[in-house]
Amino acid sequence: MRYLTRHYTVLQLDEALERLRQGTLPPYALVITFDDGYRNFYDYAVPTLKRYNVPATIFIATDFILRGIPLWVDRLEYAVGHTEGSRAAGIARDTTLRAKLKSMTQGEREQKLQALEGTGATLKDFADDRMVYAPLTRDMLKDMQNYGITIGAHTRSHPILSTLPLDKARDEIAGSAQELREAVGAISSVFAYPNGQHNDYNEETITSIKEAGFTSALTTIEGSIKRGDDPYELRRITLDGVEDDASLAAATSGLRALLRATIPYA
């Protein structure tokens, strides 16, 4: 946050997109977003955002926050982490299984998860060693809003939307928005796709997002946003692998994306 506030004009997401449409965006404009809604966001990120007076938007999976249902990716990680083998082997297995499960239907994925939990361990609550997976609470959401953090919709259960029947996808999108409005009031006009890569949404998904009243949507496809971009396929810069100011500078400036596009494995 110290680096970003020195080199960029950090804006609230909805304001930045509106100013982009109007052509009044300042140079080096940047927005900060988070996904899912883990409690560690409140414990670690929020104090830092406050310290540097930085606005941010967090996109919430409502089954996770409002009903305490663990995200399926965390159920996978927890089950794999409690099977025999080294940590490195567990990480490799989790990565492989995660990619396979993302391509499955919701029913197929649930069957596979239950089978894995039968041989490992089941993430049913957030006590003891499971606290690392704990969600935000309603009170935390309201406190964050009072500070100025915007809440956005990220579906109910964090599915891969393109794998769902249309009626289920509509419920995941519109239902999460409705639940968030009931819980905290005003929310962002922007939706964030779970996982957010090209194959994770489709034209029907975008239509459902428009019908739910959202004016734009964020992917996790790497890149910056420019005027004239499709508002329902907006890019983001993820900070995976960022460990120092140099790698942060490369990511946020767009240099990392440029290198990856021109040099294999950069």
pLDDT in tens, 88-141: 999 999 999 999 999 899 899 999 999 999 887 899 899 999 999 999 999 999
CA distances to 1, 12, 54, 85, 263 from 51, rounded to whole Å, are: 9, 16, 8, 42, 38
Contact of 201 with 210, CB cutoff 8 Å: no
Per-residue model confidence as pLDDT tens for the chain (266 residues)? 999 999 999 999 999 999 999 999 999 999 999 999 999 999 999 999 999 999 999 999 999 999 999 999 999 999 999 888 888 999 999 999 999 999 899 899 999 999 999 887 899 899 999 999 999 999 999 999 998 899 999 999 999 999 999 999 999 999 999 999 999 999 999 999 999 999 999 999 999 999 999 999 999 999 999 999 999 999 999 998 888 889 999 999 989 888 888 876 55
Contact between residue 161 and residue 201 where contact means Cβ atoms under 8 Å apart:
yes
pLDDT at position 150, please? 97
Asked if residues 248 and 3 have their Cβ atoms less than 8 Å apart, the reply is yes
pLDDT reported for residue 161: 96
Helices (H), the chain: 2-7, 13-22, 39-40, 46-51, 62-67, 72-81, 87-102, 106-119, 138-147, 166-184, 203-211, 245-253, 255-262
Cβ atoms 117, 75 nearer than 8 A: yes
Cα 228 to Cα 86: distance, rounded to the nearest angstrom: 49
What is the set of domains in the chain, with CATH numbers?
8-68+135-238 (3.20.20.370), 71-133 (no CATH)
Q: Are strands 57-60 and 190-192 parallel, antiparallel or unpaired?
A: unpaired
Q: What is the pLDDT of residue 265?
A: 58
Q: What is the DSSP letter of 43?
A: I
Residue 23 confidence (pLDDT): 94
Chain-centroid distance, C-alpha 41:
12
* Contact yes or no for 216/17 (Cβ under 8 A): yes
Please tell me the distance from the alpha carbon of residue 240 to that of residue 7, in angstroms, as a whole number.
Answer: 20
Distance CA 202, CA 64 (A): 24
Can you give the pLDDT at residue 264? 64
Neighbouring residues of 22: CB distance < 8 A, sequence distance ≥ 6: none
